[in-house]
């Protein structure tokens, strides 16, 4: 369900912290760190690292209950930081990264590190606010302790020249970026990506029928109804479970001589 993003909405920005966020104003120019260790490597290198790590992990199983097996386990634990450092170096070499990657968000501009991840030449891509037509925040919802949490998965930046730049949550701190873009009141809309099976069109349905189903299902009332249904189902499940345990306990008491 598409919905408007509000800064005080915990379903969007739970556990969010940005240094100095309480003092943000219209003149702020906020810097955000971008981690690159999760950037994808080539298929060959990824398979080689996977085979190497899996091979080392299963090697102690060939020598059960021996000192050699214990030594191999300790070696595997020690090789984990070596693997992370090696992957970090390979990522930086593959994408030509030389320094710390950072995003900058302000009232006038959005600057992001440019490389093959967003299919741009290496450097910094600076987008002026006047060049941005709108942003589309893609998200999926999940129930957590009877509360809805919206997980931002991607953000499409549509420029006025028609170009669309997609930022993936795996490679950019999107929750922080979206918060700042909302704070500076950039033109923004949302797109829900967690469709249930009820949204699948039936055989023979035409486009107008499918569209009407999406319209009826994708609204606030329907979303709240589904949340209440999930809550009611959980309560009934727990009640049935407690009742079954009580019946079993009473039956054991009555059967005891």
Q: Is 181 exposed, middle or buried (0-12, 13-18, 19+ CB in 10 A)?
A: buried
Task: Look up residue 66 and give its DSSP letter.
Answer: S
Dihedral sign computed on CA atoms, order 250, 253, 256, 257: negative
Class of domain 10-35+101-192: mainly beta
Name residues whose C-beta falls within 8 Å of residue 104's C-beta, 6 or more positions apart in sequence. Answer: 29, 30, 31, 32, 110, 111
| Beta carbons of 34 and 91 less than 8 angstroms apart | no
Task: Look up residue 172 and give its DSSP letter.
Answer: S
Q: Could you read off the pLDDT of 141-190 as tens digits, one per residue?
A: 888 777 888 899 999 999 999 999 999 999 999 999 999 999 999 999 99
Whole-prediction pTM value?
0.68
| Beta carbons of 11 and 224 less than 8 angstroms apart | no
Q: Is pLDDT at 209 greater than 70 in this prediction?
A: no
Q: Which of 1-15, 104-118, 227-241 has the highest mean pLDDT?
A: 104-118
pLDDT band, residue 218 (cuts 50/70/90):
very low
pLDDT band, residue 245 (cuts 50/70/90):
low
Q: Is pLDDT at 133 greater than 80 in this prediction?
A: yes
Q: What is the mean pLDDT of the chain?
A: 79
Domain boundaries, the chain: 10-35+101-192, 43-95, 195-257
| Between 222 and 143, residue with greater pLDDT | 143
Mean pLDDT of 82-108: 91
* pLDDT (0 to 100) of residue 202: 40
* pLDDT (0 to 100) of residue 160: 93
Residue 20 gets the label, from left (phi > 0), alpha (psi -120 to 50) or beta, of: left
* pLDDT (0 to 100) of residue 168: 93
Lowest mean pLDDT among 3-7, 41-45, 168-172, 191-195: 191-195
| Beta carbons of 148 and 161 less than 8 angstroms apart | no
Lowest mean pLDDT among 45-49, 228-232, 236-240: 228-232
d(C-alpha 7, C-alpha 206), whole Å: 39
- pLDDT over 70, % of the chain: 74
Q: Could you read off the pLDDT of 23-54 as tens digits, one per residue?
A: 999 999 999 999 988 899 889 988 998 888 88
* pLDDT (0 to 100) of residue 153: 92
């Amino acid at each position: 369900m598409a919905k408007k993003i509000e800064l005080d909405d915990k379903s969007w920005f739970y556990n969010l912290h940005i240094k100095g966020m309480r003092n943000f104003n219209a003149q702020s120019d906020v810097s955000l760190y971008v981690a690159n260790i999760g950037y994808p490597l080539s298929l060959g290198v990824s398979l080689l690292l996977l085979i190497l790590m899996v091979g080392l992990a299963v090697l102690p199983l060939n020598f059960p209950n021996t000192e050699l097996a214990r030594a191999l386990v300790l070696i595997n634990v020690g090789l984990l930081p070596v693997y992370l450092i090696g992957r970090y170096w390979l990522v930086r070499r593959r994408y030509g990264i030389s320094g710390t990657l950072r995003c900058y968000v302000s009232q006038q501009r959005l600057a992001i590190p440019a490389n093959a991840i967003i299919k741009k030449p290496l450097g910094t891509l600076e987008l002026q606010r006047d060049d941005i037509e709108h942003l589309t925040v893609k998200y999926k919802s999940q129930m957590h302790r009877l509360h809805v949490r919206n997980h931002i998965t991607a953000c499409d930046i549509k420029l006025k020249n028609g170009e669309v730049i997609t930022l993936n949550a795996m490679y950019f701190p999107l929750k922080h970026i979206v918060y700042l873009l909302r704070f500076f009141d950039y033109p923004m809309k949302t797109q829900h990506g967690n469709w249930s099976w009820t949204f699948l069109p039936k055989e023979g349905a035409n486009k107008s029928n499918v569209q009407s189903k999406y319209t009826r299902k994708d609204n606030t009332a329907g979303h709240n109804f589904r949340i209440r249904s999930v809550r009611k189902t959980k309560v009934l499940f727990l009640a049935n479970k407690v009742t079954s345990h009580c019946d079993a306990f009473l039956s054991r008491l009555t059967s005891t001589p």
